[in-house]
């Protein structure tokens, strides 16, 4: 059954906007709340070793604290030449949580000597859902592409400016929100989420 209210369990405003946009676009008739409506919520320590585990930690915590269904995303960029890292450490790759500029610059410096043919990468997104005393599930989505030498574009966030999705000639940060949602890891994961939510 589709709930009437749901909390998006994230303090990242850019991510909340993107999730809200995709969910509303799908025509779900759910009142979607941000964590800003619940000032007592703490940051959840992301101690899991996978996107899925960390997403579920966040969804469970927010659902328990608010008594409402909660949906959480954990996502990141997995770079082939870095054995899949930054991965779950994407948001704190340069050491400080959420410094998009520092994270991106560090990544570019680390792969500066890596030849173009070994620049493959994937964005991965796990979406976890948790209802108080009810359903729990996790879905995932991904987007393949490659890392370029310097940032291009002003949309999106995180590593978008250095990632060219497969089949595109521009970076994720040069796509409009609507173009990005159609092909993005988060778009794919949230579409799977909506299917699962509607089927349950």
Binding site for its own copies (CB under 8 A): 45-47, 49, 81-85, 87, 89, 92-96, 105-106, 109-110, 112-113, 115, 118
Helices (H), the chain: 13-25, 51-66, 100-110, 177-183, 185-199
- Of 35 and 90, the one with the shorter C-beta distance to its own copies is 90
For residue 173, the minimal CB distance to its own copies (Å) is 21
Number of H helices, E strands in the chain: 5, 6
Catalytic-role residue among 36, 43, 74, 80 = 74
Say if residues 143 and 158 touch (Cβ distance below 8 Å): no
74 is catalytic: yes
CA atoms of 154 and 10, how far apart (whole Å): 22
- Local structure of 94: helix, strand or coil: coil
Q: Closer CB to its own copies, residue 161 or residue 187?
A: 161
112 vs 154 by CB, closer to its own copies: 112
* The pairing of beta strand 120-130 with beta strand 163-165: unpaired
Shortest distance, CB of residue 92 to its own copies, whole angstroms? 7
Minimum distance, C-beta of residue 106 to its own copies, in the bound complex (Å): 6
Active site residue ranges: 74
């Amino acid at each position: 059954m589709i709930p009437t209210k749901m909390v998006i369990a994230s303090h990242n405003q850019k991510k909340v906007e993107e999730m809200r946009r995709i969910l509303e676009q799908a025509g779900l008739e759910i009142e979607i709340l941000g964590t800003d409506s619940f000032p007592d919520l703490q940051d959840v320590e992301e101690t899991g070793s996978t996107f899925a585990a960390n997403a579920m930690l966040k969804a469970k915590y927010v659902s328990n604290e608010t008594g409402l269904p909660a949906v959480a995303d954990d996502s990141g960029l997995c770079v082939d030449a870095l054995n899949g890292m930054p991965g779950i450490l994407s948001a704190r790759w340069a050491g400080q949580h959420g410094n998009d500029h520092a994270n991106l610059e560090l990544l570019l410096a680390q792969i500066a000597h890596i030849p173009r043919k070994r620049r493959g990468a994937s964005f991965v997104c796990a979406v976890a859902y948790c209802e108080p005393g009810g359903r729990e599930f996790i879905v995932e989505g991904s987007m393949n592409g490659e890392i370029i030498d310097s940032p291009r574009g002003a949309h999106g966030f995180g590593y978008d400016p250095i990632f060219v999705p497969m089949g595109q000639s521009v970076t994720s940060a040069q796509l409009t929100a609507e173009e990005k949602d159609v092909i993005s890891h988060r778009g794919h994961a949230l579409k799977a989420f909506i299917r699962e939510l509607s089927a349950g």
